[in-house]
Structure formats: structure tokens, C-alpha cells
Structure 1
Amino acid sequence: MKNRYAVFGHPIKHSKSPLIHHAFAEQTGQTLSYEAQDVPAEQFETAVKDFFNQGGKGLNCTIPLKELAWQYADILSPRAQAAKAVNTLALQEDGMIFGDNTDGIGLVRDLTINHNIQLEDSRILILGAGGACRGIIRPLLDHKPQTLSIANRTASKAVTLAEEFSGLIAIKGCSFDELTDRQFDLIINATAASLSNDLPQLPSGLLADNGSCYDLAYANEPTPFVHWGKINNAIKSLDGLGMLVEQAAEAFFIWRGIRPETQPVIAMLRNAHAVT
């Protein structure tokens, strides 16, 4: 098929991306194929070359391939340059491969459009200083929060990351232990803790009145961080399913030039969760 797309990752078996993109295609009247391929890191470069040589038009890349995709792309968007990771590759008319990172804009759209959470002049805390954190910092800063803090088990990693993005607003890196006597309007979990049904030790009183919590991870059941948010009186405590759909919609727009409606697809996936 001429309009061929795919997601590469390892593991990839449980990816919802094919379901999401086929729903987008049906909604917008686009004819395309989209499949999931299990691609270990050591096979990434060969697999990408084969995909595009065989007529592929665009790729999504997930764990553990985003940094490799960043290195592979011929052209990088500003947000991909800042993230040092790429989750969307697109074949250009001149044969060059364009790389973008749609994770951060997906998060911001889910927060602001789907859930009416204000980022401007807010106090934001990101838990974790790995690749997931790096991918969302610039789009969050674009919305001019009052402060942005990054907390990590290894404080030096958070401090280094904060210094890299400093200059626009007050951005600080620290350890989890240094979060006492501080409050935040929005706390985002960018650690892998939810995937192992775990949670960093967080002090009480961390969430401000009318504050919200957001876990980049998602699962059929509420994640430990979503539970933490509810216990700590978050006005909204959300998982990352909406972000998943919103980042996919941005990739679809990059490939096809059409922006699909995300709400029906989010609702479809929520309903599927409810019956599984």
C-alpha cells in the first residue's frame, strides 16, 4: 500500500497506536495502513531503512528507540532538538527524514483542552528526570508557568536537566527529599514507577488546594500515582491515555496534513478499558 505507516518499539505487543491511527483514518476519510513492529534497538537502523525503502511514509518510535530515532533523522523540529528524542519520523518529498517529538504537545493539549487545567502562572512539579521528563519540558515552558521544578531520586540528574532549560522561567532540580515545605498546582509523574506499581516517597501537603495530578503512564486500573492524587485531594487526578491519543493526533497531522478529532478516540479507548 502506498500510504504505509507503523510504530516500532520493543516490546510492542500491547501498543494501542494501530487502533488509534486506524480510527483517525476512518474518521478523516484517509486510506492508509498502520502496523506495530517489534524492533529491538540493535536492529533499529536496518529496520527503518527497509521500511522507507519499501514505500513507508511515516513511523512512530517508542521505548527504547526514541533516542536512536533522534540520531537517525536528517532534519529535527525545535521540540525534538530540545527533547533529544524523536517519536515521529516522516519521509519528505526530497527523500530526507524529518524527526519530531509530539509527546510534550500531546500532554499540553490533554491538560489544557481536554481537562481545562491552566498552565500559565502555575507552579509545576515533574517527578523524574529521564527521557519522559525531557520530552515535555519545552512545551510546558511555552505556556509560561510561574515555576517548574524537577525532582529525582538522583538530585544531580534533575539539577543538570533544569540547568539545560534555564533562562526562561525559574526552573529548579532537586531530590524527592528536598520537596518538603513546598506546594505545587500541578504534579506530573514522569517516572517509570507506575509501570512497576510503585511510587516515589512524596511528602504530605505537596499538592496545593485545587491542584491537579497527571501520570504520563496509563493502565486499565488507576495507577498508584493517580491514587496518590485522589488521596491528596487533587481536583483532577489523571492518567496518560489522553496524552497518548493527542500525541498520535499530532503525528497524524504531520503525516497527513489533517488534524483528527481526539475526543471520540479517547472515549473509545476508555470504554474498551471499562470492559476488559
Structure 2
Amino acid sequence: MRRYAVFGSPIAHSLSPRIHTAFARQTGIALEYLAIEATRDTFPAILAASGVAGANITLPLKEVAFAHCRSVSARARRAGAVNTLTRTDAGWHGDNTDGAGLVRDLTERHGVDLRERRVLLLGAGGAARGVAPALLDAGIDALYVVNRNSARADALADALGDPARVHARGWDALPTLGEFDLLVNATSAGQTGTPLPPLPMALAAPRSVAVDLAYGRAAVPFTAWARAAGCAQALDGLGMLVEQAAESFQCWHGVRPDTDPVYADVRRLTDTQPVSD
């Protein structure tokens, strides 16, 4: 039985073991899937000692994992961050399934048309890097990357290599940016206990969709703001979590599981017992 795991900090309440165990049961694949605590400093040694055949990577390790890979996929290279590791004879191969997971959840589960949309991306860390390329590939019209550290926003915009559509701004520029069709919170504020900085209500319009890449309690401040601002949809990242997990599962096992029953299961769980990943 092969072993897989999700690495991050904090990680104790991760839903990834439940999701991958459900996928394995559905597809008849025998595996063990664990949640393993690791910080930036301890991650390389803990990964080496884990004996896993593959791994998912979450906060705050996605950029650390990228640097640890012997090879990476094209989408991981564009992101500069990795959320999926596969052990090979040559070393670790890195991929990033976050963007594909977000786009699939938005378009197929929630009916969001991303074409020609004006998008605000809050944050410029590993989570933001993972989803930005996929949003561009989905046909959005403009992507504004906003971060409290404007140099990190600039670095992400430069890495994306699409100056006609990608614009970097500091947090203080938010009141000047106008309305957005899609607002994506990719900051770690809710997951680390740091308050989300104030957001102008004028960023949202009646048809806007807002999504927090976190879920459970961590997503509450942003989704509450989105509802107060009048967004048509205020979503958390649970659907993205399930869809990116399915992408990882396919990378490892060559089969894509049915995500709908697994999403329904974890949605019921989070509705009655909020958790965070």
C-alpha cells in the first residue's frame, strides 16, 4: 500500500486525508494518506523521512516545495510554486493543480463565466501564484494583483509575463481600482489569525463573484465582506480544494475521480463542524 500525505502548518484539521481516502475507495486504489506538520525549516528533512510516493503541499510551503524539485511541470514553472509532488527515480517532480481546481470549481460547479472578466487577486504568495496562470488561461480580460508588500505583487506580475493584462498594485491603491467581476482572496490572513485589512465596498458590483481560497472559519471574514458589499456569489475554497485534489489524484494514479459526491460529503462536514486547511 503506497503512502501519500499533505504537508503544511497548521495541518491537523486538513480535509485532504478524508478527500483522498474517498477518492481511493471510489476508484478501488489501495493507499494510505496522512497529514504531516512541517514548517519551512523542517520540511525538507520531514519529507525525506516520510517515505511517501506523492504529496500535497499547502501553506506555507508551496514556494519552498518548488525549490526542492528536480523537475517541474509547465504550470508549476509559471506559478513558481508547487502543491503536488510525485516521487521519481530522478527526484521529486512538482506540479501545481490549484489553478485548474479553482477554474473547474468556478465554471462547472458555480456557473461562472470567466471570459473577458476583470479580476482582483488579493495576495502574491504561493496560493496566488498557483491560481493566477489558470485565470489568465481561462480568458479573463485583466488581472490586478494587490499585495500589502507591493514588491511581491510586482514580482508575481513580472513572472506571469503578460503586461497587457496583469497589473500590480499595493494595498493602498484599492480605493482607486473600481469594480471587479471576480474577487479572489489568496491571502493567508484568515488561516494565520491575522485580520484581513479593510476592503472598500466599491470593489464589488451586484453581479460580482467573490471567492476565498480558504474554507471553513478562515474564509468567514472575506465572504462576510463580500455579502455585505452586495456580491452575487460569496464562495469559499472548499470546491477548489476538492477539485485540485482530484487533479493531484489523477497525476499519481492515472484516473480522475468523481468529485461531486466527495464535495457533498465535505460540504456537509464543514457546514456542521467548521474546519480549516
Alignment TM-score > 0.5, same fold:
yes
CA contact (8 A) 2:182 2:210 kept: yes
CA contact (8 A) 2:86 2:252 kept: yes
- State how 1:58-137 maps to structure 2 within 5 Å: 58-92=54-88, 94-137=89-132
Unmatched 5+ residue regions in structure 1? none
CA contact (8 A) 1:58 1:90 kept: yes
Does residue 198 of structure 2 align to residue 201 of structure 1?
yes
Taking a change above 3 Å as real, the CA distance of residues 168 and 181 of structure 1, as seen in their structure-2 partners, is: closer
Check whether the contact 2:246–2:256 (CA below 8 A) recurs between aligned residues. yes
Q: What TM-score results when the alignment is normalised by the length of structure 2?
A: 0.90
Give the count of matched residue pairs.
271
- Rg larger in 1 or in 2? 1
Q: In the superposition, relative to structure 1, how do residues 245 and 199 fare at CA in structure 2: closer, same or farther (>3 Å)?
A: same
- Identical columns (%): 45
Distance (whole Å) between structure 1 residues aligned to residue 272 and residue 131 of structure 2: 31
Query: Residue 78 of structure 2 contacts residue 159 of structure 2 at CA under 8 Å; is this kept in 1?
Result: no
Partner of 1:139: 134
Per-residue deviation, 1:233: 1.4
The residue type equivalent to 1:105 in the other structure is A
1 CA distance for matches of 2:229 and 2:58? 32
Letter in 1 for 2:235: L
Which of 180, 184, 198 aligns to 1:188? It is 184
Q: 1:18 maps to which residue?
A: 17
The alpha carbon displacement at 1:161 in A equals: 2.2
The match for 1:257 is 254
Cα distance in 2 between the residues matched to 1:181 and 1:64: 29
Moved more, 177-186 or 247-256: 177-186
Aligned-partner residue type, residue 274 of structure 1: D
Q: CA deviation at 1:273?
A: 1.9
CA RMSD of aligned residues (A): 1.9
- 1:223: how far off? 0.9
**Which range is displaced more, 252-261 or 33-42?**
33-42
Consecutive unaligned residues of structure 2, counting only runs of 5 or more, are none
Q: State the Cα deviation string for residues 67-120 of structure 1 (Å, max 9, x = none).
A: 23212221100111122221111123x454211111111111111111111111
Of 203, 207, 210, which aligns to 2:207? 210
Aligned structure 1 segments of 4 or more residues deviating by more than 6 angstroms: none
CA deviation profile, 1:131-162 (whole Å, cap 9, x unmatched) = 22111111111112111111122333323322
Q: CA deviation at 1:208?
A: 2.8
Local SS of the residue matching 2:231: coil
RCO higher in structure (CA 8 A, sep ≥6): 2
**Match of residue 29 from structure 2:** 30
Please, what TM-score do these two structures have when normalized by structure 1?
0.91
Structure-2 separation of matches of 1:208 and 1:154 = 26
| Structure 1 CA distance for aligned equivalents of residues 85 and 168 of structure 2 | 31
Answer yes or no: is the 8 Å Cα contact 2:205–2:230 preserved in 1.
no
